[in-house]
């Protein structure tokens, strides 16, 4: 008897998933535009507000805030479902944009970025849980590829629009313009969630046999359109891997300690020699507190999920830190306009999206993807750093930056897929939280280290070289840890 071939999984944009997929992509598109726009405009913003010493903090302040948000958002998503933290995150992200756009000083702008970080952290964790609970596992690579593709349009037009706005209208509209588009994107997401999860996502009533968690973690609300529903949240302690309220309280407290350490570290980095005490205090706090929020064995590359978290921190930290310094170097050392400097971010984001699309189209050896990706990231950042020398053509530096973008495009979605694969039912929020805490804190540490060097010395070429060398190091370390993602 001839067996019929297995039925192909539905497309990400097929009818049951279309509204939700479009809604998620629309909001990620705005997040991407904001990220690229701020990275392009920040050299001008920092000079306009006389806040160049706090340049790095304007980036990593939002990452430090994301530590608290991801701890709270992970627990919230696991206990009550992802809808609440998702909408709270969207509201926080919008409020942070308004505060930053109206900021009279650099310190107020940093507060706005902090609020943005809280909103972005809640939204990002909830997004992972939605993907885990709504889309079947075979669709996860394609979903993350679609979300990566949301960077394409902002990458093409974002830096050019940002440069034109900064040069002809004013930098404040980089922040104030984005909330105008948040409302229609939020409506799209609301329609998708309403169609899949029913009117609400609530915890089951204790003792209700019909609402008791199943072996899969929870009873699902029947969806409209036949798609897999967002499960109701399990009762407290009712699913494997869901922490108790007491455990969550301790985790949230440690999250606050880590956020304080990260803030001290980054703030001290902008004060030159005067900030050494703050730098040391922040580093000690992080060394003591961060392991309490990460899976056991993360810092020694324990096999499986601990190495996934470590690799995400190393690769994303290196990539984000490079994004901070490349526009600054191009405008300060090579005399490029904000628009031309933004084209570098365009190229990097496009190559990131291309790599993400490629890894989502087939079954590749994930260890190989991670090794190749981290190697390309390290080599690309090193090559871009050579642009401090006038003899190096700008186009050669752009080519190196494209290589770096392609590398992180291989690494990032691969680690996202592995996070869901290695999570037990009910653990998706907590593990996604750990993943993004590692990402945020590693980025803060790398940006703080390079920012301290930058603030402590004149902006000579050798200072840029040292900063880029510090950024390359974590990416290179990732090459030797990639094989340990397999249990």
pLDDT of residue 4: 47
286 located within any domain: yes
The pLDDT of residue 375 is 93
Instruction: Provide the pLDDT for residue 213.
Output: 29
Instruction: Say yes or no to pLDDT of 377 above 90.
Output: yes
Rounded Cα distance between 320 and 444, Å, is 9
Compute the average pLDDT of residues 77-84: 78
Diameter over CA atoms, the chain: 79
With a cut of 80, say whether residue 233 has pLDDT above it: no
| pLDDT for the residue numbered 438 | 79
Classify residue 11: in a domain, yes or no. no
271-308 pLDDT, tens digit per residue, is 655 667 877 888 888 888 888 878 888 888 888 888 88
Question: Quick check: 104 pLDDT over 70?
Answer: yes
pLDDT higher than 50, residue 43: yes
Assess whether pLDDT exceeds 90 at residue 256. no
What is d(CA 17, CA 200) in angstroms, rounded to the nearest whole number? 18
Q: Is residue 8 assigned to a domain?
A: no
Label residues 145-176 b or e (16+ Cβ within 10 Å = b): bbbbbbbbebbeebbbbbbebbeeeebbebbe
- Residue 44 placed within a domain: yes
Summarised one tens digit per residue, pLDDT across range 129-143 is 888 778 887 777 778
Residue 201 has what pLDDT? 37
- Does 481 score more than 80 pLDDT? yes
Best CA proximity match to 365, nearest among 414, 403, 420:
414
Task: Average the pLDDT over 377-387 and give the result.
Answer: 90
- Residue 310 covered by a domain: yes
Output the pLDDT for position 270: 60
Domain count, the chain: 1
Q: What is the mean pLDDT of the chain?
A: 75
φ/ψ (deg, to 5) at 220 = -90, 140
- The residue that leads in pLDDT, 96 or 33, is 96
Closest CA to 26 of 184, 177, 179, 194: 184
Is a pLDDT exceeding 70 seen at residue 234?
Answer: no
Residue 378 is predicted with a pLDDT of 93
% of residues, the chain, pLDDT over 90: 5
Q: How confident is the model at residue 379 (pLDDT cuts 50, 70, 90)?
A: very high
Please tell me the predicted confidence (pLDDT) of residue 453.
76
Mean pLDDT of 82-88: 85
The whole-number pLDDT of residue 204 equals 32
Among residues 176, 170, 70, 164, which one has the least CA distance to residue 126? 70
In a domain, 472, yes or no: yes
pTM reported for the whole predicted model:
0.64
Helix (H, G, I), strand (E, B) or coil at 130: helix
Specify the pLDDT at position 133.
Answer: 78
Residue 334 C-alpha from the chain's centroid? 29
> Of all residues in the chain, what percent carry a pLDDT higher than 70?
76
Give domain status of residue 31, yes or no.
yes
Residue 442 predicted with pLDDT over 50: yes
Question: What CATH number is given to the structural domain containing 25?
Answer: 1.20.1250.20
**Using one digit for the tens of pLDDT, what is the confidence trace for 355-375?**
887 877 767 788 888 999 999
What is the mean pLDDT of the segment spanning 243-249? 53
Provide the residue range defining the domain that includes 85. Answer: 18-201+243-485
């Amino acid at each position: 008897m001839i067996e019929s071939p297995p039925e192909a999984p539905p497309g990400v944009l097929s009818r049951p998933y279309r509204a939700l997929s479009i809604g998620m992509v629309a909001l990620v598109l705005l997040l991407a535009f904001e990220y690229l726009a701020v990275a392009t405009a920040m050299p001008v913003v920092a000079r306009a507000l006389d806040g160049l010493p706090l340049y790095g903090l304007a980036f990593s302040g939002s990452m430090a805030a994301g530590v608290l948000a991801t701890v709270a958002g992970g627990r919230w998503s696991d206990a009550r479902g992802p809808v609440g933290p998702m909408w709270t995150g969207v509201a926080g992200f919008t409020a942070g944009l308004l505060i930053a756009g109206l900021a009279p000083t650099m310190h107020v702008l940093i507060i706005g970025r902090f609020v943005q970080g809280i909103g972005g952290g809640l939204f990002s964790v909830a997004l992972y849980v939605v993907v885990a609970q709504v889309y079947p596992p075979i669709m996860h690579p394609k979903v993350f590829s679609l979300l990566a593709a949301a960077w394409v349009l902002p990458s093409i037009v974002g830096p050019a629009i940002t440069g034109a706005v900064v040069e002809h209208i004013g930098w404040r509209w980089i922040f104030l313009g984005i909330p105008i588009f948040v409302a229609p994107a939020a409506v799209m997401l609301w329609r998708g969630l309403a169609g899949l999860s029913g009117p609400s996502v609530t915890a089951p009533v204790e003792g209700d046999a019909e609402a008791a968690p199943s072996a899969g973690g929870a009873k699902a609300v029947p969806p409209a359109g036949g798609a897999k529903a967002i499960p109701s949240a399990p009762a407290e302690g009712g699913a494997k891997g869901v922490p108790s309220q007491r455990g969550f309280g301790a985790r949230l407290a440690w999250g606050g300690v880590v956020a304080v350490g990260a803030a001290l570290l980054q703030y001290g980095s902008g004060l030159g020699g005067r900030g050494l005490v703050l730098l040391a205090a922040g580093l000690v706090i992080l060394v003591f507190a961060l392991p309490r929020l990460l899976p056991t064995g993360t810092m020694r590359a324990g096999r499986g999920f601990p190495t996934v978290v470590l690799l995400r921190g190393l690769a994303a930290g290196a990539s984000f830190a490079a994004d901070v310094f490349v526009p600054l170097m191009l405008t300060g050392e090579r005399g490029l306009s904000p628009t031309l400097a933004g084209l570098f971010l365009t190229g990097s984001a496009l190559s990131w999206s291309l790599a993400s699309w490629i890894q989502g189209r087939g079954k590749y050896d994930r260890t190989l993807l991670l090794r190749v990706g981290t190697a390309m990231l390290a080599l690309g950042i090193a090559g871009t750093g050579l642009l401090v020398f006038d003899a190096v053509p700008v186009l050669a530096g752009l080519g190196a930056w494209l290589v770096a973008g392609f590398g992180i495009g291989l690494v990032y979605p691969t680690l996202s897929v592995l996070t869901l694969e290695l999570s037990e039912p009910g653990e998706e929020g907590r593990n996604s939280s750990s993943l993004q805490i590692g990402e945020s804190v590693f980025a803060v540490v790398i940006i703080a280290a390079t920012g301290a060097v930058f603030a402590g010395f004149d902006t000579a070429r050798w200072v840029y070289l040292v900063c880029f060398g510090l950024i390359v190091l974590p990416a290179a370390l990732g090459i030797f840890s990639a094989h340990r993602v397999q249990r």
